[in-house]
Amino acid sequence: MIIHLPTLRDSIYRPALLSLLETCDNDFSPSLSSSRCKGVEKASTKDKLNRYLQEKDPFHHYLLAFDKHRVIGMLNFVVTTNQIEVDTICVHPLHRNKQIGYAFYAYLMGNVCLTFSLSEIVVPCEPSSLAHVHLLQKLHFTQIPSPSAPHLFHKKIRF
């Protein structure tokens, strides 16, 4: 099951999402917590990840995936005037290769694009993230040839 939250502020899901991000933190390059170290090197990973989430409010929307009542995945994105920009996708290691990433993008390309009347999605993706690159290619996202942003993928949705 996937739900859409317009914000995490005061959300009952915030602690579960922090736990998920803590589990997956080192899967990101650089880790999500390491990029929040300036002046808080001695802060715990959970505090750094909480700071990461605070930086996203109030502009980011969240898609959360559940297995029964447990948060097992997250995709956050920003809605701009002309497109949807994906920021982060994360799936718990025990639930990878179960089509959760595909379900996130299907929900994004369908429900979210229709809700906001937008037809373009942009996704930054490092080449080292092979599974994510493969998923985007499978969903017919194309890499944007740009020297200033070499790791961007794009898809135009047709309704």
The span from the CA of 94 to the CA of 126, in Å, is 22
Across 73-95, average pLDDT: 94
Instruction: Using the structure block, give the residue that is written with the tokens 């194309």.
Output: 142
- 78 is in which domain, residue-wise? 2-156
* Residue 39, pLDDT score: 59
* Residue 149, pLDDT score: 66
Q: Which of 76, 73, 70, 80 is nearest to 56 (CA)?
A: 76
Per the DSSP assignment, residues forming a β-bridge with 65 are 2, 73
pLDDT at 159 over 90: no
pTM of the model as a whole: 0.89
Number of domains in the chain: 1
pLDDT in tens, 38-58: 555 678 888 888 888 888 877
CATH of residue 124's domain is 3.40.630.30
Across 5-22, average pLDDT: 87
- Residues 58 and 84 sit within 8 Å (Cβ to Cβ): no
pLDDT in tens, 90-143: 999 999 999 999 999 999 999 999 999 999 999 998 888 888 999 999 999 999
- Label residue 38 exposed, middle or buried (CB < 10 Å: 0-12, 13-18, 19+): exposed
